[in-house]
Amino acid sequence: MSMDWKVEIVEYGEIVQDEDETVPQDEAERRWNRYVELADSVTGDEGPEGVAAIVSSLKVRYDYGAYASAHGALQRFPLADLGKGVAWAAEELTRIPYDRSGIVLVIVARLPAEAAEAFNQEIKSVPGDVRNRLRDVVDFHEANEWLAEDGDKGIIKVPRE
Over residues 55-108, the pLDDT tens digits come to 999 999 999 999 999 999 999 999 999 999 999 999 999 999 999 999 999 999
Domains of the chain, residue spans:
4-152
What angle, rounded to 10 degrees, do the helices at 98-110 and 79-88 form? 150
The per-residue pLDDT for range 116-131, each reduced to its tens digit, is 999 999 999 999 999 9
Q: Is 150 exposed, middle or buried (0-12, 13-18, 19+ CB in 10 A)?
A: exposed
In angstroms, the Cα distances linking 105 to 20, 39, 118 are 29, 18, 13
Q: Does 132 have pLDDT greater than 80?
A: yes
- Region for residue 47 given its phi and psi (left: phi exceeds 0; alpha: psi -120 to 50; beta: otherwise): left
Q: Does 2 have pLDDT greater than 70?
A: no
